[in-house]
Amino acid sequence: MAERIVPVISLKDFDKRKEEIISQLLNAAENAGFFTLVDHGISKEEIEAQFAISKAFFDLPAEDKAKTPHNPKTNNGWEYKAQLRASTGIYDQKESLWLQRNSDWPSDGDVPQFRESTSQFMSKCAGISDQVLSCFAIALGFGEDYFRTANDPNQADCLTQLRLIHYPASENAVGTWRAGSHTDIGCLTLLFQRDGEYGLEICPGRESHSSFASGDVFTPLPAETGPIVVNIGDMLMAWSDDRLKSNYHRVRAKEVGKSPSRYSIAYFNQARRDILLQGPLKKYPPMTVGEWFAQSVARNFSQQAAIKV
C-alpha cells in the first residue's frame, strides 16, 4: 500500500482565503484524515516556551508530579505508563499530564507560571481550532458557528483537554512501540512536536471503523517545531456521517539502539457533554457527546480486558 500524502495547509489571510482553505481542508480530511497547518498564528518561540514549561514539569521528582494525580473519572492529571493499547497488548511507554480549564493544575511553586502560560497556550489552540472547525461546518452544511459552539472550551460541560506528553529515553526493551496504533475519540486534535524528535506515523486507508492496522504500511511524518499536525477524531468522523476520516496513528521507537526522549503537546477538541451529536445525513442515531464518550470508553475497556499481557 502506498504511503499517504499529508497536505500542508496555510491559514495565512484566513478571512480572505476562506473558500480556498475550506476546499483544502475538506480534501485533506476526506482523503488523509491528517494535515499540517502553517501560518497559524502561534510563533515557534511561543511553542518552544510551552515545551520548556512541559519539560520543567516532567523533570520534577515523581512525588511532586503526583501532587496532580490522574483522576480516572475525568481523565485529568498526571499518569505514567498507564495507557494499555488494544493494538499492541502493552502499555504506551510515556507519561502525560491531562489538563482542562477547571481541573487540578500543578502548583506555580513547582513550575513557575505554569497555569498562566499554559492557559494562554490553550486559548491560542482554541482560536486555531475555531477556524478549522468553522470550515468543516460550512463544508458539511451546518451553520458556520456550529462546531465552534459545540466545542466552546469556556463552557463548563466542555470536555476539551490539553495533554503534555513525554516519552522517556529507552533502549526499546519492550519492543518498538512508544504509543500503539490508535485513533483519537474526540473531534479534532492539534499536535505540536519538537525539531528532530521523530516517531509519529499514520496508516493509510485505515479509518476508525476498521481493524488496528498493525501489519499495514505506515507513513512517517516530519518532526518540526512550528507546523501543527492535525487529525480528524472518531467523533467528527461520525458527526460527518463518515465523510471526514479518523485514521490510525502511532509513535514508533527506533528498531535498534537507544531512542532519545520525545516530547509532544496535544490539544484535543472533544466538544461539550450535553451537545447532541448527529450528522447532516443522520447516518447514526442521535446521542449526546457524553453518551458518545461513555460508549467509546466502554468499547476501549472491553478491548483491553480481552488482551492477555
What CA–CA distance (Å, rounded) separates 76 from 41?
A: 27
- 156-166 per-position pLDDT tens digit: 999 999 999 99
Q: Enumerate the domain spans of the chain.
A: 8-307
The amino acid at residue 159 is L
- Domain covering 8-307 in this structure, CATH number: 2.60.120.330
Instruction: Report CA-CA distances (Å) from 219 to 24, 227, 235.
Output: 20, 17, 23
Radius of gyration of the chain (CA): 18
Closest CA to 147 of 131, 159, 162: 131
Listed in sequence order, the residues at least 6 apart from 58 whose beta carbon sits closer than 8 Å to its beta carbon are: 65, 95, 97, 164, 166, 263
- 178-193 per-position pLDDT tens digit: 666 678 889 999 999 9
Beta-sheet strand order (sheet of 177-182): 177-182, 247-252, 200-207, 219-220
Model confidence, pTM = 0.89
Q: Are 64 and 53 in contact (CB under 8 A)?
A: no
What CA–CA distance (Å, rounded) separates 245 from 46?
A: 30
Among 4-8, 164-168, 169-173, 255-259, name the most confident range.
164-168
Give the model's pLDDT for residue 254: 64
What CA–CA distance (Å, rounded) separates 119 from 149?
A: 20
Give the model's pLDDT for residue 8: 97
- 34-93 per-position pLDDT tens digit: 999 999 999 999 999 999 999 999 999 999 999 999 888 888 899 876 555 554 556 567
Give the model's pLDDT for residue 227: 97
